[in-house]
Structure 1
Amino acid sequence: MYEQLKAIYREALVTEQEAINQPDNYYWFQDTALARFGLLKTAVTHNEWQLLALQCHPVHPPTKTQTHAERFWERVLLTGASPEQNVSESPFAFIHFYFKREPQDYDEVKQAISGFFPGNGIMLWTSAQSGVIIHESAEQPEDIHELTELLAADLFLDAHLFHGPMMTDLTIAETIFSRQKQLFYLARLTYPKQRTFQYATLLPLELIKNDVLDHHPSSFHPIDARIKDLDQEIVDTVLTFLEHHMNISSAAKKLYIHRNSLQYRLERFTEKTGLDPKQFLDAVTIYLTLTKHRVASFVTIEQKK
C-alpha cells in the first residue's frame, strides 16, 4: 500500500520522522501493517481522503513523543489489534469529541484537554476534527459541559462531546468505541444545538437507531401514521413536555404559553393517537416514536446529499 501511494503522491507522502516539525500540515493514516504515514493536505481532495479512510485507519497527527498509553489505545481502538489483557486494571470511559472546524494547533488542544483530565485523560485523533479521550479513572470527570466552554473561550473551538459509560472489558473496547462513534454522529444530526451528550440520555436513540435504518415497516408504524396527521405545533409541544420531565409549568414556560394552552394540546394529542403523554408507559412509547421521527428526517436528508 505504502509503495503504491508513494508512486502517486511522491514527495507529498511522508513518514513521521520526515514531518516531525510540521505534522499538522498532513493527514495521517495507519495501514494494516501498522505503518503510519502522512499525506500533505493540499495534495489530497476530500473524495481521495474518503477512499483512503476505507483502506487505512485515519489517526491523529504524531507528536514528538507518544506515551505508552497512547500507543496501547491506538492499537486497540484504531487498528483492531488484540489487547494483551482482557480486563483493564482501572475502569475507563470513552469521551468522543468533534470540532466544527479543524483546530489551528493540535498541541494546544491536547494541553487544554490534558488540563481538564489531569493524569488520566488519553487523547487520540480519528480525523482532522474529531477523536476520543480515554478517561481512565473510577471517578467521574467534572461536568464535560465545562470543557466545551473552556475550548470555546481559550481556543475559539465549537466542540460537541459525548461521554460514554464506564467499563473494564478490553475485549469489546473496539466494538463499543465504534458503536458509540456512530451514535455520537447520529446525536449531532438529531440534536444539532446540543453540545454535550451523556449515554443515558441517548439510550432512546440507541434503541431506535436500527429501526430507522431498516426500510421495512416497524412496530412503530401505526403510531407514526397518526402522528403524521398532527399539527407540528402539537408534536413540538408534546416533545417539549416530555423533555421537561412531564412538568407542565416548566414546559409551558419554555414554550411561552399558558398552562391551559399546553394542557389543551396534550389532550388533542391523546385524542388523535390514543396515547396519554402524562402516563409513564405511554410517555415512553411517545418519546421513542417522536425521536425516531426526528432521526429519520435527518437520515433522509443525509442520504440525499
Structure 2
Amino acid sequence: MAGTVSVSLRKSLFARLLPYLLIAPTLILVFIFTVYPAINSVVDSLYKPARNARDPSEYVGLENYVDLFNPDHYIGSAFVQIIGQTLTFSIVTVLVSVPLALLFALLLNRKMPLQGVWRFSLFYPSLLPLIGAASIWAFLFSDTVGLINTVVRSFGGRGANWIGDPNISLWAVIVVNIWKQVGYYMIFYLAGLQGISRDFYEAAELDGANGWQQFYYLTLPLLRRTTLFILVIAFTFAFQTVEQLQVLGMGGPGNSSNLLLFYIFQTIPERRNWGYVNAMSVVLVLILLVFTVSNFALFERGREDD
C-alpha cells in the first residue's frame, strides 16, 4: 500500500514539474542571450572604461546618461540630434507604411485580374536583402546618372542631391524604408481580412450600411489585433535600421540622416565610448518599451470602449 502511494506521489510530482521541465531550455536560452546581456548593459552603462584594458573601469553613476544629453559633449552634440531624427524617421515611416499596407490589402482582398501578380509585386521588395534594396535606391538617387534626377531633368527640373543634401537625406532614407516594408505589413493585413467572416458584411448591408461605414465600424475594429501587432514590429524595425544607412550615405552628411542604432554601431570601436554605447542601448530599449506599452494601452482601452 505504501509503495503504491509513493509511486502515485512521484507521478503527481512529475506531472506538476513536466511543464517547467519542457520550457526550461527556452528559459535558459532567453536568460543567456536576452536577460543577462540586458542586465549587463545597464550595469556597464554606469561605468567609464579605463584607458588601459588591464585597469578596472571607473564607476560614474548616471554621468554617461547626462553626457548623452549634453550638447557641449562630443557624444551629446550628435546624440540629441540623432534621437530626434530617429523618432522622426520611425513615426513618419510607421504613419505612412501602415495605412498604405492596409489600403493595398483592401484593394487586393477582392477578385481581380492578375491578383497573384499584383500581390507578389507589392510583397517582392520585402524579400530583397536590405543591402541590395538600398543599392537599388542609391542608384535611383544618384546625383548625376540617377533615374529620378534623369526623369526630373527631362521635364525641365534641376534634380537634387538626394543623399548628399543634409536637408533631404533623411527623407530619402524614409522613402526607402517605406518601400521596403509596406508589402510585408500588407501580408498581415491580408491574412486578417481573410479571417473576417462575410456574414458580418452581409448583415451590415441588410442594415443599410455603406462601404465606408462597413470599413469604419467593422473592418477596423476587427483588425485591431492585427494592427497592434504590425505597429509593434513596425516601430521595432524602424529603430533597428542599420544596413540601409551603410549604402545611403553612412548617416551623412554631418549625421543629417543618421539613426540611433547605426550611431551606436559607429561609436563601438573606440574603447572610451563603451560606457556611452551601453547607455545609448538602454535609452533605445526604453524608447521601444514606451512605444510598445503605449500601443498596447491604446488598443486595449479601445477594446474596453467597444
TM-score interval (norm. to shorter) = under 0.3
Q: Which has the higher contact order (CA 8 A, sep 6+)?
A: 2
Bigger Rg over Cα: 2
The structure with the greater share of residues assigned to helix is: 2
Larger fraction in strand: 1
**TM-score, structure 2 normalization:** 0.26
